[in-house]
Structure 1
Amino acid sequence: MSAAEQSTGEAMPRPERTPDALRLALARIAPHRLAEMERQKNEAFQLAAQNNSLGPIHGWMTIWAGEVEIERRPDLLARRRAAELTVQSLDRDDPAWLAAMDELQAVLTEAREAAG
């Protein structure tokens, strides 16, 4: 295990950024999310066909590469879960709610950048 993997607690290597590799990785680490992934993939392909654009497919890949990154890294997953719990338990006018929303965005950004 590399020093980077030890410091982040990565449970498995980062998969290639292909639909099949992302699906296989998700099946290993978060199989309960496969139906969500498949539904969103179908929606992205439908939009791509309707608009004659690969943009929706690229967007789907970015989202799910990030989601797999979060699911495979205990540090990111713990940060997301803690922030989600805070968001769900506080009123929107509480400053901690906004801080938790900022943390959720930071987790997503870090995951998507890492997954490249």
Structure 2
Amino acid sequence: MQPIETVGGGPLIPRPERTPGALRAACTVVAPDLLPAYDRVKDRALTEAVEHDSLKPVHAYLSHWAVLIEIERHPVMAKAYRRAEHLARIAATADEARGHLATASSLYREAAASVRRAP
């Protein structure tokens, strides 16, 4: 597999900062169909942060969405990730589903590593 920076000729947009506003703005460009989910997860993270008096839910949501946006910034990777998730959902056997989930997981980990390496 090629490094994420070279897959599909480069990213659609620059990598956003890991802030709620920047990630949401990036989502509106690269994955507008995910905006309702983004807003739900953000609201849930904020509610949990208040309920538990902890910023851990906010950090978790920001980290997860930074990775999802990283995937969506790269069209070829995004297509492969969505395809693997879809095939896992419709797989005829558990082994087949595991194979597709392994592909999606590998792509997610690659994107997460790229986000972690970012300056």
TM-score class normalised by the smaller sequence:
0.7 to 0.9
Q: In the alignment, which residue of structure 1 is the partner of 2:24?
A: 23
Identity %, equivalent residues: 32
Residue 79 of structure 1 is matched in structure 2 by: 80
- The separation in 2 between residues aligned to 1:37 and 1:86, in whole angstroms, is 23
Partner Cα distance (1:97, 1:41) in 2: 29
Are 2:104 and 1:107 equivalent residues in the alignment? no
The CA distance in 2 between the partners of 1:59 and 1:11, in whole Å, is: 24
3-state SS of paired residue (2:100): helix
Task: Give unmatched runs, 5+ long, in structure 2.
Answer: none
* 1:13 paired to 2:14: yes
Q: Please show how residues 45-56 of structure 1 align to structure 2 within 5 Å.
A: 45-56=46-57
Moved more, 84-93 or 15-24: 84-93
In structure 1, how many angstroms separate the alpha carbons of the residues matched to 2:48 and 2:114? Answer: 27
- In the alignment, the residues of structure 1 paired with residue 86 and residue 36 of structure 2 have an alpha-carbon distance, to the nearest angstrom, of 23
Which residue matches 1:44? Answer: 45
2: CA distance between counterparts of 1:106 and 1:62? 17
CA distance in 1, matches of 2:55, 2:86: 35
Q: Which moved more, 1:35-44 or 1:71-80?
A: 71-80
Q: Compute the RMSD of aligned alpha carbons.
A: 1.6
Unaligned runs of 5+ in 1: none
Residue 43 (structure 1) shift: 0.3
**Dislocated runs of 4+, deviation >3 Å:** none
Deviation at residue 58 of structure 1 after TM alignment: 0.3
Q: Once structures 1 and 2 are overlaid, which stretch shifts more, 75-84 or 10-19?
A: 75-84
What code does the residue aligned with 1:59 have?
Answer: A
1:62 CA displacement: 0.8
- The residue identity in structure 1 corresponding to 2:81 is R
Distance 1:98 1:33 in 2: 24
User: 1:85, CA displacement in angstroms?
Assistant: 3.1
